[in-house]
Structure formats: C-alpha cells, structure tokens
Amino acid sequence: MKPLIGVTAYRRTFPKTGWLYDVSYARNAIAIQESGGLPVLVPSWLDEQDLRDIYDRLDGILLTGGEDIDPTNYNKPRHETVTTFDPKRDETEFALTRWAVADDKPILGICRGCQVMNVALGGTLHQDIPTFIDTKQRHDLHVPEEPRDQIMHNVLIQPETLLAHIMGGEKVAVNSIHHQCIDEPSPDVRVVAHSDDGIIEGIEVPGRQFALAIQWHPEDMTSLPHMKNLFDQFVNAAQARIRI
C-alpha cells in the first residue's frame, strides 16, 4: 500500500472570471508520485474538524511554497514588501505542522514551508532579505526570465544530521526563490543548514522520525539523485508509518 501524502494547496482567483480555484505547484505532486507516494491536495479553507479528519487519514505532510506568512502570526508589524498573504492558509498549515510534530508524522517543508514550520513552532522571520540582511548573494529569481532550477548558491549542512544523510554530504548547490527567511529559530527546531552568507536554509525537529524543512525548491531538481532522494526518504518515512 502506497502512503498518502497531503500536499498543501492554496486559493487562486482566475482573473478573467473571478472564479476561485484550489491549486498547488504541479512539481510537488509529481515528485511525491515519482518517489512512490500518493499525493492528496489539502485545501486551505477547511474548518478545523474537517482538516483534522483529512489529516488523520494521511501518512505524511508536504508544506509547499507560496506567498508570505502574515507577520501578525509572529507579532511583527507588516513590512512594505509583504503585499500578498492568506491568513486562512497560514492557520491551516500551522495546524498541520503542530499536529504532525506532536504525532511524529513525517513532514517536509519547502521554501514557505520552512518558514511555516518555524513560525508554527514559535519562531520568527525576516520579512525581506534585502532590507534586513547585508548580503550581495541573490536568493530570488527574476521571474519568468530565469528558470526555477537555476543554481543560485551553495548550502552548507551540519554533519550527522538527517539532511546531510539525505544529501550525501555537507555542501550542496541549490536553486532559490524567496525574499523572506528565518530570523529567530523556534526553540523546538535545530538549525542544520546555512547559505554562504549565513541565511538559514534548513531546520529539523530533534527526536522526530522525519520533521525537516528546507528553503530551496528540490521539486524542480529531482533529475539530480540527491534531490530526488529527499522525496524518496520522505515517502519511505511515511511508508514506514503505515507498518506501525
């Protein structure tokens, strides 16, 4: 039996009609399916009981990329660069994160998902890297001129961590599509990776089978064995949970 992996979705309004859609970047579901899991889109607008009923049927949670988190969630005034956010999506993904960590259900965060995991567990964010961090290193693409799999910088990984084991080493070249990043890490996470300029690129929750979040987008780089291995190991952890 293949594990069911919840892939968080978000709402989009089709500009020509005003119709609402629940959407998610396709490469996330493709990566899960290619690694042996069954992707299930989780809408962001469900009430808590319906969300819990779906969560209880899932074997793993994938927190996807997307818009900024509302900074009121970590008691900060909104920076001028934070112009699009969805409080209901924040609420939904915070709940999924807290439940998964409490239940030791495998959870993987990607980009925004890394930020969600940190904030859900009590951390904060830098709302705009160019404003708050002195760096000449680029962390965001020029869209759509540059491809999503474009290598932007290196990430240095702490040895003897889950992420180092999955990546097969302590240095990896990654893509990058974000203007926010972790400021104060949650007391419940361990910072396990940084970019060359010190920006946090990976966190893990100690004592959990698989509770890992990264700042880059491995779903766009699964042609590389170590990036596909991230999804393989995540799905394997969810598969192992079925046998418990």
Tens digit of pLDDT for each residue in 44-70? Answer: 999 999 999 999 999 999 999 999 999
Is position 170 annotated as part of the catalytic site?
A: no
pLDDT tens per residue, range 121-147: 999 999 999 999 999 999 999 988 999
Check 165, 204, 217, 226 and give the catalytic one: 217
Please tell me the total count of domains within the chain.
1
Residue from 93, 201, 204, 219 carrying the catalytic annotation: 219
Distance CA 218, CA 226 (A): 9
Cα separation, 69 vs 89, in Å, equals 9
205-215 pLDDT per residue, tens: 999 999 999 99
Instruction: For the chain, give the percent of residues with pLDDT over 90.
Output: 93
* Residue 217 among the catalytic residues: yes
Let me know how long the chain is: 244
**Domain span holding position 90:** 4-242
pLDDT value at 243 more than 70? no
Q: What is the rounded CA–CA span in Å between residue 155 and residue 177?
A: 14
219 is known as an active-site residue: yes
Q: What is the CATH number of the domain that holds 117?
A: 3.40.50.880
pLDDT band at 242 (very low <50, low <70, confident <90, very high): confident
User: Over the Cα atoms of the chain, what is R_g?
Assistant: 17
111, 139, 181, 201: the active-site residue: 111
